[in-house]
Chain A
Amino acid sequence: MVSLKELIKQESTKPELFLAGSSACAGCSSVLALRWALKALGKRTVIVSPACCANVYIGLWPKTSPAVPYINMAFAAGASAAAGVVAGYEALGKKDINVLTWAGDGGTVDIGIQALSGAIERNTNFIYACYDNEGYMNTGTQRSSSTPKYTVTTTTPLGKHMHKKDVAQIIAAHDIPYVATCLATDPVDVYNTFMEAKAVHGPKYIHILSPCAPGWRFDVSDTVKMGNLAVESGFFLLWKQVDGRMEIKGKSLKALDKEKRVPVKDYFKPQGRFRKLTEEQISEMQDWVDRRCDRMARRLQSEADL
């Protein structure tokens, strides 16, 4: 694990692997995460990316921003195509290349979940990273099953009725060697998470919360702040499950303590997508967060007791 200072010192002299002047929205946290993920994985990496913002933000033919091989892939096929790349390299005896699926939440929690579940069940040696901006942002902010309850989207104009699907826990239930959640707006977290994943053989899953200013309706310069609030409020928990053992990441430790947990309404308030929540709904969401944090705390306690 490198510290912020070490990371800046070590990386600032190295070339970028996601080049400036891409077509990503200004302040896109998914690009920030990809930039640091690639620094961790290095140039011997191949990206497979199912339909998502990244398919557009890499730029227009005949130019491209990623300085590593990158395949645009069909929406449902992010994990399966990556499994094919892994199999091809293995069959040809090429062993030192990281294969990364870089997918949005739609391509992961909705249309791509079957291929993802299949690829990790088959013990495919790859990293599947989902940058979760909690909706179909590329197509204009429609709801996905990763969209939180009561969020206003273009297909839930009065707010969504169901809770966010916790796909990272679904993946963790597959009992694969490495599952982690991380925060796109925290480059140190992103870097360290991908460094850890890279060192593990077998399927690795990384779920990255990616605040999206245009989709969540907040001021883009507050992108880092929004990520921090998601974690400090306990709305998004940072954890990793390595070889079946659950650990909470330092940044989320505070959120497990009810006294130190930032109220969820502080997280909701700057975001236009939560503008239609009533006081009762906010309090219902606070209960939901509290329950989830308590459940995580109990699980950590029971694992510590083992």
Chain B
Amino acid sequence: MKTEQEKEQTIIMSGNYAAAWGAKCSKVKVVSAYPITPQTTVVEKLSEFVDNKELDANYIRVESEHSVMAALVGSSMTGARSFSATSGQGLLYMTEMLHWVSSSRLPIVTTIASRGIAPPWNIWADYTDILSIRDCGWIIQFASTHQEIFDSILMAYKIAENSEINLPYFIVYGGFIQSHTSKPVRIPPQKLIDDFLPQPPKDGWGHINLDPDKPITHGNLVMPEQEYLDFRFLMQDAMIKSKETIKKTINGFNTKFGRNYNGLVEEYCCEDADVVVIAYGALAEQNKIAVDQMRAKGCKAGSLKLRYIRPFPTEELLELFNGKVEVIGVVDRGTAFGNPTGGPISTEVMSLLFRAKRKVKALPCIWGIGGRNVTVDDQVGLYEKLLRIKNKNEYPTDETCQHGTVWMGLKIGV
């Protein structure tokens, strides 16, 4: 007979519950959160875990998201593993504290059920929330399945708490469809999880510890001629170094639990592809079906899912560009008004094209924002657009293509 600790369970749960289960199985010590649609069921489930003593943690039910992240700065500085979850407006409201966390190099993990930014109110999938704060010094990973949400939290703490890295970590998934629909999630035996993710050191993180026996002050004024610049460089350096740690952790996870998350990107049929769509989140997962349909028609289509945008998978993308691909489509489910493409990630992906050894054509797209539905047929349509560029050098000319970017579903009259 196996004990509870040694048994694997498969539970049907929502994406949000998968996040709560991830925090529970990571044995977090402090949770702080403020309810916001569509994250609410994460914090409800965690409250239940804490109140039922299934999770031995201190839950601070604060009065705002700014206080959420401030509280976690405090708790993480004591050396306690700390967790939160938020979305949309809440994420934007905690922006100041996000910098406080990363610049203090605190290994806090937070899940985001992304939603559209108001006004007007919108509570459906749209990554403009996380994309608006993409340069705060947090690792940013997208999770496109329920299982991936759960698994990612275990890996996130392992990566963030690595003393070479010590950067905070966001796990992002789409609001409502992914946060609220239910799917089976495999919960490994707790013993195995504890082996993979031991508790943090008792005397706190190496670089900061609030110990009255060893008093230090954190954060006082640094003058321009002092090393402010150098400390900022260290953050970029840690971000770049984290790529290796991420890959190693993914491999270690695969060895232990038998689920492989590839790396910073997940390629699908990219090897011989001459048209590739680059996307992130659940849209990228769905895109695989469009690839299958294109392949059935004899088209060499591929799909590349960005699992991480911070650190940015520069090397992986360059490898793609230096291979056989001729045309890429880059799909943003989010906006960056006034930047070269209107989409934050397409701008970044396309900025790498000038480093590629060959000429690769690109079509930036803004799709599915504010929860607008994107069907497989739509995705097949994008591949057809890419093929016209490849075969005839014909870029889309209809009115949904504005300022060089396809705004899929833009209403243009009959």
Interface, chain A (partner B; CB < 8 A): 43-46, 48, 55-56, 58-61, 64, 66-74, 76-77, 79-92, 94, 97, 114-115, 117-119, 121-122
CB-defined contacts of A119 to chain B, threshold 8 Å: 67
B215 touches A67 (CB 8 A): yes
CB-defined contacts of A64 to chain B, threshold 8 Å: 216-217, 220
> Which single residue of chain A is at the shortest CB-CB distance from B209?
A69
A44 touches B212 (CB 8 A): yes
CB-defined contacts of A77 to chain B, threshold 8 Å: 66-67, 70, 73, 97, 100
CB-defined contacts of A55 to chain B, threshold 8 Å: 220-221
Determine if B63 is an interface residue (Cβ-Cβ < 8 Å). yes
**Pick the contact of A97 from B60, B63, B96, B212 — CB < 8 Å?**
B212
**Pick the contact of B64 from A88, A91, A92, A118 — CB < 8 Å?**
A118
Q: Interface size class for chain B?
A: 35 or more
List 19 A–B pairs whose Cβ atoms lie within 8 Å, in order of A's numbering. A48-B74, A59-B220, A66-B217, A69-B212, A72-B220, A77-B66, A77-B97, A79-B67, A80-B62, A80-B70, A81-B70, A84-B60, A85-B78, A87-B60, A87-B74, A91-B29, A91-B78, A92-B79, A115-B63
B70 touches A88 (CB 8 A): no
Taking the nearest CB of chain B, how far is it from the CB of A25, in angstroms? 15
A88 touches B63 (CB 8 A): no
Taking the nearest CB of chain A, how far is it from the CB of B331, in angstroms? 35
B57 touches A58 (CB 8 A): no
B217 touches A82 (CB 8 A): no
Using A83-B60, A85-B77, A87-B30 as known contacts, say yes or no to A68 and B72 having CB atoms under 8 A apart: no
B79 touches A88 (CB 8 A): yes
CA distance A46 to B218 in the complex (A): 11
CB-defined contacts of A76 to chain B, threshold 8 Å: 66, 70, 96
CB-defined contacts of B72 to chain A, threshold 8 Å: 84
Using A60-B223, A85-B74 as known contacts, say yes or no to A69 and B60 having CB atoms under 8 A apart: no
> Which single residue of chain A is at the shortest CB-CB distance from B31?
A87
A91 touches B226 (CB 8 A): no
CB-defined contacts of B67 to chain A, threshold 8 Å: 77, 79-80, 83, 114-115, 118-119
CB-defined contacts of A90 to chain B, threshold 8 Å: 58
CB-defined contacts of A74 to chain B, threshold 8 Å: 66, 70, 96-97, 100
B79 touches A118 (CB 8 A): no
> Which single residue of chain B is at the shortest CB-CB distance from A77?
B70
CB-defined contacts of A121 to chain B, threshold 8 Å: 63
Taking the nearest CB of chain A, how far is it from the CB of B98, in angstroms? 11
Q: Which 8 A-B pairs have the closest CB atoms?
A: A84-B74, A88-B78, A118-B63, A72-B219, A84-B71, A77-B70, A80-B67, A88-B75
